[in-house]
Amino acid sequence: MTIKISQNFDAGAIEVVKAEQAGDIQLNLRKDSNADFCQWFHFRLQGARDQEVVMQFLNAGESTYAKGWEDYRAVASYDRETWFRVDTEFDGKVMTVRHTPERDSVYYAYFEPYSWERHLSLLGGAEHSPLARVEDLGNTVDGRDLNMVVVGDPEAPKKIWIIARQHPGESMAEWLVEGTLNALLDPANPFAREILQRAVVYVVPNMNPDGSVRGNLRTNAAGANLNREWMTPSLETSPEVYYVKNKIHETGCDMFLDIHGDEALPYIFVAGSEMIEGFTEKQAREQQIFVDAFCAASPDFQTKYGYEASKYNADMLKLASKYIGHTFKCVSLTLELPFKDNANLPDEFVGWDGARSAKLGEAMLQPILASLKAAE
């Protein structure tokens, strides 16, 4: 077989500069559609079985988050089910991936993808439960469905909102939500049962379907960074935020969790709303209870490393968690998961991955319940 690289599939993204020989493949990271963000990659390599593959990403140093390549290892899979890390180096300009495939076909990606088909299966599985309904909120820019899973009784006194994947390349966010939904819908899970005695949970597993399928890192089909659209979303360029924001105002919100991935920091952490003008003592107390309970629930979660409180001063209320925290005076957090690994509990084979994200999503029920109880 001759060497072949393809990317014309769900979330595929790469530009091929040269690929005649397995030991000298040159690539460029592709920009998001209609935007200048450049980081995500996902492609298939054929014809290199038992050959040492050397792939150079020539423009890695010019990518949106070049620090994301420091101490990073790309992921690979033969069957798109089991993903593993491969040797990766970054010299500040060029990122080089080295791997000797054992089969004729192998996939490489920035992080373990979460496919559109799996997304639809997640929705279908949720509707099997008598506890859940799937609602359509509207259409994306490309005309895809924007769906929400409602778990529990909408008449419950407390309203919890969980959204994920505003930045589509942060696929670990939807992996986490899969774990959270599965736990919430498990009739044998005592944390879920207690939560649903107090609250209804609204979950948007994928805020950015178009960007996910297009293989974008941060933007939707129109080139909008959805996590900068919460003050003035439009049906033309950010309908995804427009529909979800309106629904939140319709239902109310007592807790808001926005799930993301961080390119550079190899840790799991939250960014809170304490820097917002008008942040109340009640918010501070319930936020701290959530954080403390998360630390107890999962050794993966930590508080030593994270963002400075001043990180988003310039466009504070354009961000989902800041807007919601300011508007509804509730616990409103951005949860960040790593693209690399959890440096506190590293895994040499997989790094941080989908399964670990899902386990963290299950564990998240405990801080949710603790915060609900604190508000009683």
Active site residues: 336
Tokens (6 digits) for 190:
């005592």
Angle at 89 (CA atoms; ends 87, 94), nearest 5 degrees? 135
- CB atoms under 10 Å from CB of 153, counted, come to 12
Place of tokens 């769900």: 10
User: DSSP secondary structure string, 253-280?
Assistant: -SEEEEEEEESS--SBEEE-STTSTT--
212-229 burial string, b = 16+ CB within 10 Å, else e?
bbbbbbbbbbbbbbbbbb
Tokens (6 digits) for 375:
């508000």
- φ, ψ of residue 306 in degrees (nearest 5): 175, -155
